[in-house]
Structure 1
Amino acid sequence: MASVKPILRIFDYDKAQEFYLHWLGFRIDWEHRPAGSPAYLQVSRGDITLHLSEHHGDSCPGARVFIDDFVALSAFHEVLLGKHYQYNKPSLSTPGYDPTALEMTVTDPFGNRLTFVERR
């Protein structure tokens, strides 16, 4: 089966690391960052894989990634709030499209949104 790896536009490598690695708990799988060139890297957390790019034209800021079937979303939410990341205080909600689901959206420093959904 093929896999999908969204490319999200970033503008600041250090801010991306703070958000994706230190706050959300992703890890860098690999990166391509020759001297004097924009960064391009793959990050993952469990079975979630994203590409982050500083390259102009790879994508536009403001994308939204829907992460379905996330396990233990309430616990993950509590971990995030406990880290006291000053730029994001996500909440949990029941989406209108599914009263059995739990949803949390976080926005990265570049306007990209990640929506985590757990089916209860």
Structure 2
Amino acid sequence: MSDDPIAISPPVPILRIFSVEKALEFYVGYLGFAVAWEHRFEPGMPLYMQVERGAAVLHLSEHHGDGTPGTACFVPIRGIEAFHAELAAKDYPFARPGIEDAPWGSRTLTVGDPFGNHLRFDEAR
């Protein structure tokens, strides 16, 4: 146990989205995340929400200045073969990711969201 009085938690990436419907279709319908909460300052304002699956937490934001399209997120995973099979079984016409052997010795499955962001699911060997 450390004597450091400061406890830093894992960071939560903020990914920019431009359509709530497309974000829900991809993150909830395709990847299997669940919406933990949503926030708007008032009706008609941009949405900010948190999605979760297991220990993975992502913030999705319609707010200008929150994230940049093209962001890459490294997501450690256990059970990459089962995850791949789960995705392959879904009728999602915009992605058919495969598993690749990474040069650093792990296996990765990279999938791009509808907004240009990339999630790199990585299973260490």
TM-score higher than 0.5 here?
yes
Q: Is 2:68 the counterpart of 1:60?
A: yes
Counting only pairs closer than 5 Å after superposition, residues 23-42 of structure 1 correspond to structure 2 as: 23-33=30-40, 34-42=42-50
SS of the counterpart of 1:17?
helix
CA deviation profile, 1:17-75 (whole Å, cap 9, x unmatched): 0000000000011110231101000000000000000000111111000012x111001
What corresponds to 2:94 in structure 1?
87
Gaps of 5+ in 1: none
What corresponds to 1:10 in structure 2?
17
CA deviation profile, 1:74-116 (whole Å, cap 9, x unmatched): 0110110100210000010101122xx1110000000000000
TM-score normalised by length of structure 2: 0.90
Aligned match of 1:46 in 44, 50, 54?
54
Q: d(CA) in 1 for partners of 2:67 and 2:35?
A: 20
**Percent identical:** 47
Gaps of 5+ in 2: 1-6
Q: d(CA) in 2 for partners of 1:77 and 1:60?
A: 27
What corresponds to 1:116 in structure 2?
121
- Mean alpha-carbon deviation: is it higher for 29-38 or for 50-59? 29-38
The alignment's C-alpha RMSD in Å is: 0.8
Q: Which structure 1 residue ranges, 4+ long, deviate > 4 Å from structure 2?
A: none
Aligned match of 1:74 in 58, 61, 81?
81
SS of the counterpart of 1:11?
coil
Q: d(CA) in 2 for partners of 1:95 and 1:51?
A: 27
